Amino acid sequence: MKLAELQSAFQAAVLAGDAKGAEILDAFAAPSRADRAEAFDVYVHGYRLRLAEYLEEDYPALRALIGETAFARLVSAYIAANPSRNRSARYYSCKMPEFLAAHPLRRANAWALGLARLERALADAFDAKDVAAKDLETLAAFAPEEWPLLVFEFHPSLSLIVVAADTTVVYAALVDEEKPTLPAPRAGEETIAVWRAEYEPLYRALEEDERLALNEALAGKSFGDICQLVAFQDETAPAAERLAQFLVNWFSEGLIVGVREAAE
Amino acid sequence: MQPTPRLGYGLGLRPVYYEEILNGAPPVDWFEVISENYMIPGGRPLAMLERFRAAYPIVLHGVSMSLASTDPLDLDYLAALKALAARIEPAWVSDHLCWTGVHGLNLHDLLPIPYTREALDHVVDRIGRIQDFLGRQLVVENASTYVAFAEADMTEWEFVAEMTRRADCLLLVDVNNIFVSSFNHGLDAAAYIDALPADRIAQFHMAGHTDNRTHRIDTHDQPICADVWKLYERARRRFPDVPAMIERDANFPPFAELLAELQHMRDIDTVVAEARGAA
């Protein structure tokens, strides 16, 4: 058998998952003590074991939420549907939120999909590109009359995810508490900002007006434009003050890496 | 002549030991890291690696180059590895004599190759092109194997020796892998050690394995066993100046236990050197 055919057959047999019935066994010399199927099973079994470990490492809260049995079934299904296409184990589990979105668990558990998305976002933030965050002093370089034209650049680790209401509460309980008490599921959604400050992945649920402001700022809208939009959404609050407070928070949380004046 | 710097005694750098290493200045001369763990955009892993690099020589050890695969070379992977090497300036770069997948897949395992002329030509050609791309000599490690192919034109050690000569690469001799593969296939581990080309040995790996009675598995989760130490002593008699290190990847013991294993390695080397001096 040519080398390419041999590798193709070997890989197909590992993916098929049954060492005993594999045709590739005929290509092997007799091992000294084990039989051929037992020896080949080191590869067949090891493949699933390694991929399962990657998933367990990346989704501890999801695992705690749904329990060992359901998680093991989910992992088996994921591995069967997703052979790895990346050289690094780091990226193997990336498709779990997408996979879960089409899985019965999504309906069976109100927080499963949201937790998967949050854990994925935290993992992505962990090793996102390094860019130094700016502090509030950066604004001192601009005169007050320039503020309406300011646009902000955000840390590359920042992502906003929209998930089921109380997902952050459930996540915190699952990772922090030995016997977590979870709230009763309720209708509605929450938007979570996930990012990395220095080397620490962080997350925070956003109030509706901050969600709106951050979304617009991420889209490159200027401070003045965002003020108008927030004022339009909530006429009872002074928009500029509220937005200024958001900005102070964004700077102190390491979210902003650049400030510039937009071209008029 | 020893083809790599005489770095001394190293350990695999794993996050579980970061704090003790940084706070304790342990008697470790250098560290080896898994290249793929640092082929990422940024964050703590790269920052920590740069911190260790400022204090120690670092060796980049890959697990996904797939140098025996019949897929085309993954130039994106090699470019990322080259960029990491430019950033870290490792003492050398190594990976395994194996393949990890075909048809664009990666099984995240070190898969066996047949020791045929066809495979040898293929591997020699690939190593040559990889070395040209990286602009450096590659250090290639023998992998543990659990099956051997019936079709073979030579032994593993003949394959390794000829590969090294023709591709002009260097060797990372994993003593535990030689033991494991020899046990699994009924081969003579001592003959393997004795057949290796002395002027090409860049590094030793030592590690523990799991004994499943009918076969052994290279798990890196156990202390190094007596049989592997014995084989190491034989290797050390042939290759006196080769930098050596211990890999531990699971079932992590207290750091002091790894340091004790490293000291055992030094003690063996002292005895071997004294015997050489007395001869």
- Mean pLDDT within A124-137: 96
Q: Is B199 helix (H, G, I), strand (E, B) or coil?
A: helix
Query: Helices B226-238 and B175-185 meet at what angle, rounded to 10?
Result: 120
Q: What is the pTM of this model?
A: 0.94
Chain A, nearest residue to B34 by Cα = A88
The C-alpha angle with vertex A138 and arms to A136 and A144, in degrees rounded to 5, equals 95
d(CA B131, CA B85): 13
- Mean pLDDT within B22-49: 96
Alpha helices, H only, chain A: 3-16, 36-58, 60-66, 68-81, 96-101, 105-108, 112-126, 167-176, 208-218, 223-233, 239-252
* Residue A242, pLDDT score: 82
Are B111 and A42 inside 8 Å of each other by CB? no
Q: How far is CA A204 from CA A90, A194, A254, A258, B86, in A?
A: 24, 7, 13, 21, 37
Residue B252: closest CA among B229, B220, B210, B218: B220
Residue B208 clears pLDDT 90, i.e. is over it: yes
Are B213 and A1 inside 8 Å of each other by CB? no
Residue A47: closest CA among B100, B15, B34, B154: B100
Chain A, nearest residue to B182 by Cα = A32
d(CA A250, CA B177): 52
Q: Is A223 helix (H, G, I), strand (E, B) or coil?
A: helix
Cβ count within 10 A of residue A231: 16
Handedness of CA B171, B175, B176, B179 (dihedral sign): positive
Q: Could you give the ipTM of this predicted complex?
A: 0.96
* Residue B229, pLDDT score: 98
- Mean pLDDT within B235-247: 96
Residue B250: closest CA among B213, B279, B207: B207
From chain A, pick out residues whose CB is under 8 angstroms from the CB of B105.
Answer: 11, 15, 83-85
For residues A102 and A79, the answer to whether their CB atoms sit within 8 Å is no
Q: What percent of chain B has pLDDT over 70?
A: 100
Q: Residue B170 CA to chain centroid, in angstroms?
A: 11
- Which is more confidently placed, A177 or B246? B246
Residue B204: closest CA among B259, B169, B243, B156: B243
- Mean pLDDT within B22-41: 96
Domain ranges of chain B: 9-278
* Residue B230, pLDDT score: 98
* Residue B3, pLDDT score: 86
Supply the DSSP symbol for B200.
G
Task: Work out the minimum CA distance from B190 to partner chain A, whole angstroms.
Answer: 17
For residues B105 and A85, the answer to whether their CB atoms sit within 8 Å is yes
Q: Is A225 helix (H, G, I), strand (E, B) or coil?
A: helix
d(CA B212, CA B216): 6
* Residue B29, pLDDT score: 98
Two structure tokens written together for A25: 């066994």
For residues B110 and B143, the answer to whether their CB atoms sit within 8 Å is yes
H or E segment at B78?
Answer: helix B75-88
pLDDT in tens, A5-27: 999 999 999 999 999 989 999 99
d(CA A79, CA A206): 34
d(CA A61, CA A64): 5
pLDDT in tens, A137-149: 998 899 988 988 9
Residue A234 clears pLDDT 70, i.e. is over it: no
Are B64 and A156 inside 8 Å of each other by CB? no
Residue A42 clears pLDDT 70, i.e. is over it: yes
pLDDT in tens, B44-100: 999 999 999 999 999 999 999 999 999 999 999 999 999 999 999 999 999 999 999
d(CA B145, CA A185): 50
Encoded amino acid at B122, one letter = H
Q: How far is CA B267 from CA A24, A216, B208, in A?
A: 45, 65, 18
From chain A, pick out residues whose CB is under 8 angstroms from the CB of B149.
Answer: 6, 27-29
- Whether A236 and chain B come into contact, CB under 8 Å, resolves to no
- Which is more confidently placed, A241 or A80? A80
Residue A192: closest CA among A93, A121, A91: A121
Q: Residue A105 CA to chain centroid, in angstroms?
A: 18
How many CA atoms within 13 Å lie on the side-chain side of B205?
31
Residue A238 clears pLDDT 80, i.e. is over it: no
Interface test with B, best of A84, A87, A195 (most B CBs within 10 A): A87
Alpha helices, H only, B89-188: 117-134, 156-167, 175-185
d(CA B93, CA B82): 10
* Residue A229, pLDDT score: 81
d(CA B117, CA B235): 27
For residues B9 and B244, the answer to whether their CB atoms sit within 8 Å is yes
* Residue of A7, A84, A126 with shortest CB distance to B106: A84
Are A127 and B45 inside 8 Å of each other by CB? yes
For residues B57 and B29, the answer to whether their CB atoms sit within 8 Å is yes
pLDDT in tens, B145-190: 999 999 999 999 999 999 999 999 999 999 999 999 999 999 999 9
Residue B130 clears pLDDT 90, i.e. is over it: yes
d(CA A49, CA A75): 10
d(CA B35, CA B60): 5
Mode of pairing for the β-strands spanning B93-96 and B138-141: parallel
* Residue B172, pLDDT score: 98
- Whether A128 and chain B come into contact, CB under 8 Å, resolves to yes
Q: Does domain B9-278 have CATH number 3.20.20.150?
A: yes
d(CA A110, CA A117): 13
pLDDT in tens, A53-101: 999 999 999 999 999 999 999 999 999 999 999 999 999 999 999 999 9
Report chain A's terminal Cα–Cα distance, integer Å.
Answer: 69
pLDDT in tens, A166-223: 999 999 999 998 899 999 999 999 999 999 999 999 999 999 989 999 999 999 999 9
Mode of pairing for the β-strands spanning A189-197 and A159-164: antiparallel
In the predicted model, what is the mean pLDDT of chain B? Answer: 97
